[in-house]
Amino acid sequence: MKTIKQSWAEPYKIKMVELLKMTTPKQRQIALEEAGYNTFLLKSEDVYIDLLTDSGTSAMSDRQWAGMMLGDEAYAGSSNFYHLEQVVQEVYGYKYLIPTHQGRGAENILSKILIKEGDIIPGNMYFTTTRLHQELAGGTFKDIIIDEAHDPENEFPFKGNIDMDKLDALIQEYGAERIPYVSMATSVNMAGGQPISMQNLKELRALTTKHGIRVIHDMTRVAENAYFIQQKEKGYEDKTIREIVKEINSYTDGATMSAKKDALVNIGGFLAVNDWDVFEEARNMVVVYEGLHTYGGLAGRDMEAMAIGIGESVNDDHIRARVGQVIYLGEKMMEYGIPIVKPIGGHGIFVDAKKFLPHISQDQFPAQTLAAEIYLDSGVRTMERGIVSAGRKANGENYYPKLELVRLTIPRRVYTQAHMDVIAESVARVYLRRKDIKGMKMVYEPKYLRFFQALFEKL
């Protein structure tokens, strides 16, 4: 008897739709020129399928929208804060909660508390806002991710892992007293959404405990990381996503969270810690930078939606469909021969711009160029993750990252499989004419985080 393939479908149905604006190539060319060929500066209304980021762009559930109506907008002691605190303790396992307007608010407070001038902060590949806050506090970030993470073709399943020899060498060189914490991210963004294994986390915890060093977790996509552990790491195939998430967190001392990703909300984040002294200082500092410690720059309704979203984010059916859609797009693009980061990560597809446009030097911004060309072809908005995002060193020199990528980030619960087909076909059309594409020059560069606001011109 012939077997029939069993497809999967999204574990939800659509209650409301947002109509999209369809544009012509001429209209997109005008929009690109007005935006200085920077996809961050495009107007949302001129975008057909928006893959700029998965941050704050997900669709909330009916339960989350219902929770918004339960917003307790008291200035102090909002009931929504206590609900959120309870959920963070139960689902994530951290003792103390400091809400912030988003993840970078937590990074700012954490950096000011723990980092002093001359400190070294090791981490499994930099992230833009995280490294900047560390540098502004007087620290220096050191990359200790495994070498496989810098090779887009390498299919090692846990390319987010930390190289323990690199970490140990830093401890020997600088001394544990100059390392306030290890900055550990799950689902490493700049590496292509690559996960860290539970075994690696256990080894990290053992080494840092030996030297009295904290582990601070960037947990913005922890549920996606848990999915890869469940699927690929021996001994976890029968554990739930919720169980795996809690175990991941148990090997860390605290976390910064942009709830705009995993937790399925449009705004919000938090700092969560187990150390009372750190909590006490953060609780005082949040009042200066964010708001009272029981709202941290958020409305009560936002905290309620976040509390509900956290619970939904660790649901096995949800995360299987979420990552499954990303994998579907990645496999479709590989069928067209498009060079992408392998294995496929959890939150998006990362196109290898160096291989896509080998005739364009890194100083001519191949990833920035490719993102503009994809938009011009179809109205699909993507973003650069290469030399522009990497920024400059303290001495003014550019960082030259090994990875020069275009990120196609999939919002959660927003687009259909048909949208994924349109995206793959657009990138494939650009790939066919890749030899005719010219690079760009930067004509305006802001002081910080230049990828948000820099302007370019075609060469």
Q: How far is CA 136 from CA 127, 139, 156, 255, in A?
A: 14, 7, 34, 19
**Distance linking the first and last C-alpha atoms of the chain:** 60
Which residues share a beta bridge with 455? Answer: 444
pLDDT in the model for residue 370: 98
Which residues share a beta bridge with 98? Answer: 271
User: 222, 252 in Cβ contact below 8 A?
Assistant: no
The amino acid that residue 200 corresponds to is N
Q: Would you give per-residue pLDDT tens digits along the chain (459 residues)?
A: 778 887 778 899 999 999 999 999 999 999 999 999 999 999 999 999 999 999 999 999 999 999 999 999 999 999 999 999 999 999 999 999 999 999 999 999 999 999 999 999 999 998 888 999 999 999 999 999 999 999 999 999 999 999 999 999 999 999 999 999 999 999 999 999 999 999 999 999 999 999 999 999 999 999 999 999 999 999 999 999 999 999 999 999 999 999 999 999 999 999 999 999 999 999 999 999 999 999 999 999 999 999 999 999 999 999 999 999 999 999 999 999 999 999 999 999 999 999 999 999 999 999 999 999 999 999 999 999 999 999 998 899 999 999 999 999 999 999 999 999 999 999 999 999 999 999 999 999 999 999 999 999 999
User: 454, 445 in Cβ contact below 8 A?
Assistant: yes
Q: Is the dihedral of CA 141, 98, 189, 241 positive or negative?
A: positive
Residue reference for tokens 């762009």: 57
Residue partners of 299: CB distance under 8 A and separation at least 6: 71, 73
218 is catalytic: yes
pLDDT in the model for residue 32: 97
Which residues share a beta bridge with 188? Answer: 194
451 is catalytic: yes
pLDDT in the model for residue 7: 77
Quote the CA–CA distance of 434 and 103 in Å, as a whole number. Answer: 37
Catalytic residue chosen out of the listed positions 28, 332, 381, 385: 385
How do beta strands 254-258 and 269-273 pair?
antiparallel
Number of C-beta neighbours around residue 124 at 10 A: 30
pLDDT in the model for residue 2: 78
Write the burial class of residue 88 (CB in 10 Å: 0-12 exposed, 13-18 middle, 19+ buried).
buried
Quote the CA–CA distance of 193 and 401 in Å, as a whole number. Answer: 16
Catalytic residue chosen out of the listed positions 112, 261, 322, 450: 261
* Token pair listed for 442: 């930067």
Number of C-beta neighbours around residue 448 at 10 A: 13
Residue partners of 203: CB distance under 8 A and separation at least 6: 164
Residue partners of 304: CB distance under 8 A and separation at least 6: 67, 68, 70, 71, 80, 83, 84
Which residues share a beta bridge with 183? Answer: 123, 216
Q: How far is CA 439 from CA 363, 404, 458, in A?
A: 9, 14, 6
5 is catalytic: no
pLDDT in the model for residue 394: 85
Quote the CA–CA distance of 95 and 152 in Å, as a whole number. Answer: 38
DSSP letter, residue 44: G
DSSP H or E run through 388: helix 387-390
365 is catalytic: no
127 is catalytic: yes
**What are the counts of helices (DSSP H) followed by strands (DSSP E) for the chain?**
16, 14
H-state helical runs in 195-315:
198-211, 222-232, 241-250, 276-289, 300-313
User: 341, 355 in Cβ contact below 8 A?
Assistant: no
Catalytic residue chosen out of the listed positions 12, 75, 336, 444: 75
Quote the CA–CA distance of 141 and 123 in Å, as a whole number. Answer: 7
Catalytic residue chosen out of the listed positions 81, 126, 127, 431: 127
DSSP H or E run through 408: strand 405-409
Residues making up the chain, counted from first to last = 459
Nearest of 147, 221, 233, 134 to residue 181 by alpha carbon:
134
DSSP letter, residue 398: B
Q: What is the longest distance spanned by two Cα atoms in the chain? A: 70
Catalytic residue chosen out of the listed positions 218, 253, 262, 352: 218
421 is catalytic: no
pLDDT in the model for residue 323: 97
Per-residue exposure over 54-67, b if at least 16 CB sit within 10 Å of its own CB, e if not: bbbbbbbbeebeeb
Which residues share a beta bridge with 145? Answer: 162
Which residues share a beta bridge with 184? Answer: 217
pLDDT in the model for residue 5: 80
pTM, full prediction: 0.94
Quote the CA–CA distance of 213 and 297 in Å, as a whole number. Answer: 30
pLDDT in the model for residue 126: 86
Catalytic residue chosen out of the listed positions 128, 130, 252, 294: 128
40 is catalytic: no
- What is the SS3 assignment for 380? strand
